[in-house]
Amino acid sequence: MKSTITNGIEISVKTRYYAPQSDPKNSHYFFVYEITITNKSDYTVKLLKRHWDITDGFGEKRVVEGDGVVGETPTLEPGDSFSYNSGCDFITEIGTMSGFYTMKKLVDHSEFNVLIPKFLMELPAKLN
C-alpha cells in the first residue's frame, strides 16, 4: 500500500490486477485500485475534483480529470474516511498512476490540492 499526507489529508492506495476484465492476448490489462481518503486535519473538507496522470510501460501518458470520484463529492469531517474502488486499463503489463484531488475547506472555502502518491500496477508474475 502507498500512502501520503498533504495538508492533513491522507491518501492510501491498494492495487491489484483484475484478470476477468483483461485480455493479455490482445494487450489489454485491467487493474483495480482502492483509494482511502482520511481527514487527519482539524477542519471539514469537501472533495471537488480529481486529476490523474497515467503512464503505461512504453512511457505513453494520458490525463484524466473530472468532478469528484466515482460520481461523488464526499465531505469529510475531522477523523472521517472515505474509500472507493475504480480501475484503469493499459496496453502494457505495467503502468503507473499519480495525481491530486482538489479539496475545499468548508470553514473559509479555500481550495487546495492533495497529492495522490505515484503507484505501480503490474501483472503479478511480471517482476518475479
Task: Point out the residues of the chain with pLDDT beneath 50.
Answer: 128
Write the CATH number of the domain with boundaries 2-122: 2.60.40.1470
Q: Which of 37, 13, 24 lies closest to 87 in space, CA to CA?
A: 13
| 15-42 pLDDT tens trace | 999 999 999 999 999 999 999 999 999 9
Q: Which residues contact 73 (CB under 8 A, 6 or more apart)?
A: 46, 47, 48, 67
Q: Which of 94, 112, 90, 123 lies closest to 17 in space, CA to CA?
A: 123
Beta bridge partners of 63: 53
CA dihedral sign of residues 118, 99, 21, 70: positive
Tell me the pairing of strands 75-76 and 94-105: unpaired
What pLDDT is recorded for position 1? 86
**Domain locations along the chain:** 2-122
Task: Give the span between the Cα atoms of 60 and 84, in whole angstroms.
Answer: 26
Place of cell 472515505: 82
